[in-house]
Amino acid sequence: MRNGMDKAYRIQRAVQTLKRLASLWAFVVTITLFALITRGRSISIQNLVFIFNQSVIIILAGMGLIFVMSQGSFNMSPGAIVALAPLLGYLSDQVIPGLFIPVTILSGAMVGAVIGGIFANMKVPSFILTLSASFIIRNTAIVIFGGIPNGLIILPMGLIILDEPVPKIIAVAALGAITAWLFHYNKIGKWCKAIGSDENVAKYSGVLIRRMKFVAFTISGLMAGITAIFVSIRTGSVTMRSGNFLEFDVLIALLLGGVPLSGGPSSRMLGVYLGAITISIINNGLAILNVTTIYQELVKGAMLLLLVAITFERGKVMEIK
């Protein structure tokens, strides 16, 4: 009997190891496949820089979303925040110059805090709540844009310096270090993963459930605000379409990175990086191959469905929040 238990344990450990390596294999296979299909165009220096620029956006948003997903919850609002937050930042900057960046970040954090407060106290399912919030946030931005000529905001040229590789590398490295510490070594991340593992056990273990739900969504909103800055600077403008479908790219990236839908201790910050680069390679490779936007979205929709089917832990279905 003991031999049978040892064998089962070894099999379980092997499966866990394969799951941890899956994101790395997905990255290697994706970059190799597109390098072959595009005859090396996808790995040219110029194109790798383009992939890096795409990855930064998804990485920054993913650094925040992982706190929510590790609890077994969803957040469908980052894309809408990317539309509204820089708009509020720009309007504030017109009154007091220099407020674009701080107000954009603060706006994202405040939206996240409001959503987190509702989720923690009213116990509305996170998917329904954040999907509804996304519609409200984006349409609020559309209403405000209605009073702006051509519905387009051109950012000050002084901000374009942040679109250079060095500031982006510094931002990703600094924010990556902070979020990785919070997620892996601070009680915030440990408690978030404990909630995803088993909320009832976490509650009786002293985890402040409602507070952690509020904190997770606030962090996600704050990171969406920071993401909004780099999205706006990348295009040099803010429009009502800014951040469209961003949440789906980030969700696919986290799933590709091995973050399970049901959350828990298997969530890893490294998965954010691997998943973000992988989905950026896919987006870029499809564009190089002249695949139209409609079919690109079709491919990503199929990918999302496949990833959910593969990674969904059916034994925890009642714990998806």
Question: pLDDT tens digits, residue range 205-254?
Answer: 899 999 999 999 999 999 999 999 999 988 888 888 888 889 989 998 99
Q: For residue 158, what is the domain's CATH number?
A: 1.10.3470
- On whether residue 5 sits in a domain, the answer given is no
52-66, 124-138, 206-220, 299-313: least confident range: 299-313
Helices (H), the chain: 2-37, 45-69, 78-95, 100-122, 126-145, 165-184, 187-197, 199-204, 209-235, 246-256, 270-288, 293-311
Residue 117 has pLDDT above 80, yes or no: yes
Task: Give the total number of structural domains in the chain.
Answer: 1
pLDDT reported for residue 260: 84
Q: What Cα–Cα distance (Å) separates residue 143 from each residue in 24, 73, 240, 290? A: 43, 29, 9, 34
Buried b (16+ CB within 10 A) or exposed e, 97-127: eebbbebbbbbbbbbbbbbbebbbeeebebe
Share of the chain above pLDDT 70, in %: 89
- Write the pLDDT tens digit of every residue in 277-309: 999 998 898 888 888 888 888 888 888 777 777
Token output for 177: 């270090």
The more confident residue out of 109 and 90 is 109
- On whether residue 86 sits in a domain, the answer given is yes
Given a contact cutoff of 8 angstroms between Cβ atoms, the answer to whether 203 and 209 are in contact is: yes
- On whether residue 18 sits in a domain, the answer given is no
Token output for 251: 């969700």
Q: DSSP code of 96?
A: S
Q: Phi/psi zone of residue 125: left (φ > 0), alpha (ψ -120 to 50 degrees), beta?
A: beta
Distance between CA atoms of residues 132 and 77, nearest Å: 9
Place of tokens 């590709």: 256
- On whether residue 9 sits in a domain, the answer given is no
Given a contact cutoff of 8 angstroms between Cβ atoms, the answer to whether 194 and 206 are in contact is: no
- On whether residue 199 sits in a domain, the answer given is yes
Range of the domain at 53: 26-319
- On whether residue 19 sits in a domain, the answer given is no
- On whether residue 300 sits in a domain, the answer given is yes
- On whether residue 139 sits in a domain, the answer given is yes
